[in-house]
């Protein structure tokens, strides 16, 4: 929508000021209308660099967080990517601009449907979605070049590591329910390399290898 054009441009400039330099990621933010992925009552805030409520006790992450995730992955457009926590579908839409194939799991059926509707409004049909426990991954379609977890886990879910392709990477916030650190796991030919990155704050990851509901 034309009236959000200036706000979207200001958000992209703010992301650049905060250290986001990947031009492909910034272009994805320019291409994807974030206001279509938030409830109408908060659409006027859609281009603030802030998390927003999306119902069902969930939030859409701060745009900087999405941009940081995507910049860390350094996608080339050829990867097969698994997203854990579809949420509003906004990050899902960004991924379609950056990866080759996008699969996404959401545990809340109503939220999954709302994300599906929002993606359809944007003309995005190439995402494969399912409702289920994201901590178990989606082994039938693996291995994955990248896995992004959009909720906080007490530790790195083992099934997700095992479903990485050699050379693939996993991003997941690890810690307690209130504070976490973003962890990157890379799969090598001989095992896994794990590194701690930025402090983060996410809703809890619920599932067999996450938090109890």
- Report the b/e string of 106-139 with b at 16+ CB within 10 A: bbbeebbebbbebbeebebeebebeeebbbbbbe
Phi, psi of 47 (to 5 degrees): -105, 20
Listed in sequence order, the residues at least 6 apart from 78 whose beta carbon sits closer than 8 Å to its beta carbon are 99, 100, 145
Active site amino acids: 61
């Amino acid at each position: 929508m034309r009236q959000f054009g200036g706000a979207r441009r200001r958000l992209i400039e703010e992301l650049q000021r905060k250290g986001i330099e990947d031009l492909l990621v910034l272009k994805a933010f320019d291409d994807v209308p974030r206001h279509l992925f938030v409830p109408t009552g908060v659409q006027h805030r859609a281009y603030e660099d802030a998390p927003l409520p999306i119902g069902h006790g969930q939030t859409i992450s701060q745009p900087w967080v999405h941009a940081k995730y995507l910049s860390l992955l350094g996608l080339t457009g050829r990867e097969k990517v698994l997203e854990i926590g579809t949420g509003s579908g906004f990050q899902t839409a960004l991924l379609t601009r950056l990866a080759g194939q996008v699969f996404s799991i959401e545990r809340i059926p109503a939220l999954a449907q709302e994300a599906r509707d929002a993606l359809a409004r944007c003309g995005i049909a190439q995402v494969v979605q399912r409702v289920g426990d994201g901590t178990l991954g989606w082994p039938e379609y693996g291995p994955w070049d990248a896995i992004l977890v959009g909720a906080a886990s007490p530790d790195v879910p083992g099934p997700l590591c095992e479903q990485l392709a050699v050379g693939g990477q996993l991003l997941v916030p690890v810690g307690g329910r209130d504070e976490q650190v973003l962890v990157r796991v890379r799969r090598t030919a001989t095992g896994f390399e794990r590194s701690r990155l930025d402090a983060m704050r996410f809703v809890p990851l619920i599932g067999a290898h996450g938090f109890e509901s």
